[in-house]
Chain A
Amino acid sequence: MKRKNFIYYSLIIIYFLFILISFLIDFQPGKKMGMNFRINFIEMIKILPFTFILIGLFEVWVKKETVEKYLGVKSGFIGYILAILLGGTTIGPMIVSLPVAFTLFKKGAKLSIVFTYVGAAAVCRIPMTIFEVSYLGMKFTAIRYLVSIPLIIITSVFLGKYLEKRDYELIEEKL
């Protein structure tokens, strides 16, 4: 573990030194790399802290029974609708929806609904959709929604059933 950490931090330091030197000697690919890092880092750092605060508040305030009732084993079709709405209003890429999904599961949401949420958060985020429509047109987006949402629900149900049979548990690995 210690050794792994050492290698990890060394590589990070080498990476940033490389970027720094690239900017000093005007090395284009290295500068491009730095810009790429910056774009994604800023995008994430604007979203992640708030997401995790919301997750924290959710864990503290929302009762397990409530999640079980609306998203649990007995929730029925409404659960899937809620999962899609929740996914649609999630901001940011999959890095954001994964910890949310994990928290939902820990609070008693069933697996198929958790997977539906992750899928919906990937394909039908509302803010992103508005952007998409303006560049690619309504028809393109409509097709994407109408084909992907039913497929996401169907595959999530199967994946959920398959894993429940095997007593699957989500585990948050520690580094």
Chain B
Amino acid sequence: MENIKYLILITFSLLILSFVMDRGKTIKALKIACKKFRNIFNTFISVIIIISIILVFIPETIISHYITGGNYYLNVFIALIIGSITMIPGFVAFPLSGILLKNGVSYMVISAFTTTLMMVGIITFPIEKKYFGFKVALLRNIVSLIIAILVSISTGILFGEVF
């Protein structure tokens, strides 16, 4: 999904343009790209491995099970936690949310789930730490969690689900 075609097209156009304008600079750019990619590659592989393991323990069916029915606020809370831990690509997460919505899950719960999914990354923390350092990565995630809570509360209010 996410229009990767455009990314590839833009990258190649710029790369060709760059090569025509200055060969040396282009080669230097590619070297920088390789080096940066290599620096993150191991961490990146470990992260996807951990995600693949976690998703076996919390598969989609369990996600649906725990955020449907029962106590309303508890559902929001669980959605926040699951969203913060897992990393699911958008093309899986949104159809799942669509199904949950049809099954009667509230907008507030879905908002909590999708917003934390996008903004808070417990599993991707090792990667974030590499760029921002431990303290800042932690601060950014805490702030993001608070934003996600506020977004889901607003969603709940504006859809008339709470108050």
A is bound by B:
yes
Instruction: Find out whether the CB atom of A94 lies under 8 angstroms from the CB atom of B128.
Output: yes
What number of residue pairs across chains A and B have CB atoms under 8 A from each other?
Answer: 203
- A8–B30 Cα distance when bound, in Å, is 27
Instruction: Find out whether the CB atom of A53 lies under 8 angstroms from the CB atom of B11.
Output: yes
Q: Does B139 contact A (CB under 8 A)?
A: yes
Query: In the complex, what's the smallest C-beta–C-beta distance from B66 to chain A, in angstroms?
Result: 18
Instruction: Find out whether the CB atom of A144 lies under 8 angstroms from the CB atom of B115.
Output: yes
Q: Contacts A32-B56, A37-B48, A159-B143 given: A131-B40 contact, CB under 8 Å?
A: no
Instruction: Find out whether the CB atom of B51 lies under 8 angstroms from the CB atom of A155.
Output: no
Q: Does B74 contact A (CB under 8 A)?
A: no
- A151–B110 Cα distance when bound, in Å, is 19
Q: Contacts A95-B44, A135-B95, A151-B150 given: A36-B52 contact, CB under 8 Å?
A: yes
Instruction: Find out whether the CB atom of A52 lies under 8 angstroms from the CB atom of B119.
Output: no
Question: Chain B 127-158, CB within 8 Å of chain A: the 1/0 string?
Answer: 11111110010011001101100110011001
Q: For A147, give its contact among B90, B131, B150 (CB under 8 Å).
A: B150
Instruction: Find out whether the CB atom of A56 lies under 8 angstroms from the CB atom of B29.
Output: yes
CB within 8 Å of B: which A36-90 residues: 36-37, 39-41, 43-44, 46-57, 59-61
Instruction: Find out whether the CB atom of A128 lies under 8 angstroms from the CB atom of B90.
Output: yes
Q: For A56, give its contact among B8, B32, B129 (CB under 8 Å).
A: B32
**Which A residues are in CB contact (< 8 Å) with B34?**
52
**Which B residues are in CB contact (< 8 Å) with A143?**
111, 151, 154-155, 158
Instruction: Find out whether the CB atom of B111 lies under 8 angstroms from the CB atom of A140.
Output: yes
Size class of B's contact patch?
35 or more
Q: Contacts A36-B55, A118-B140 given: A60-B4 contact, CB under 8 Å?
A: no
Instruction: Find out whether the CB atom of A46 lies under 8 angstroms from the CB atom of B33.
Output: no
Instruction: Find out whether the CB atom of A148 lies under 8 angstroms from the CB atom of B94.
Output: no
CB within 8 Å of A: which B105-137 residues: 107, 110-111, 114-115, 118-119, 121, 124, 127-133, 136
Query: In the complex, what's the smallest C-beta–C-beta distance from B54 to chain A, in angstroms?
Result: 9
Size class of A's contact patch?
35 or more
Q: A39-B92, A136-B107 are in contact. List 10 more A-B contacts (CB 8 A).
A: A36-B51, A37-B48, A48-B44, A50-B11, A59-B32, A61-B25, A128-B90, A144-B151, A159-B136, A163-B136
| Interface of B toward A, CB cutoff 8 Å | 1-4, 6-8, 10-11, 14-15, 18, 25-26, 28-34, 36-37, 39-40, 42-49, 51-53, 55-56, 59, 87, 89-92, 94-95, 97-98, 101, 107, 110-111, 114-115, 118-119, 121, 124, 127-133, 136, 139-140, 143-144, 146-147, 150-151, 154-155, 158-159
A-B residue pairs in contact (CB < 8 Å), sample of 14: A12-B46, A44-B48, A55-B32, A55-B36, A56-B36, A60-B32, A91-B6, A95-B44, A122-B118, A134-B94, A136-B114, A139-B158, A140-B110, A148-B119
| Interface of A toward B, CB cutoff 8 Å | 8, 12, 15, 29, 32-34, 36-37, 39-41, 43-44, 46-57, 59-61, 91-95, 98-99, 101-102, 115, 118-119, 122-123, 125, 127-128, 131-132, 134-136, 139-140, 143-144, 147-148, 151-152, 155, 159, 163, 168, 170-175
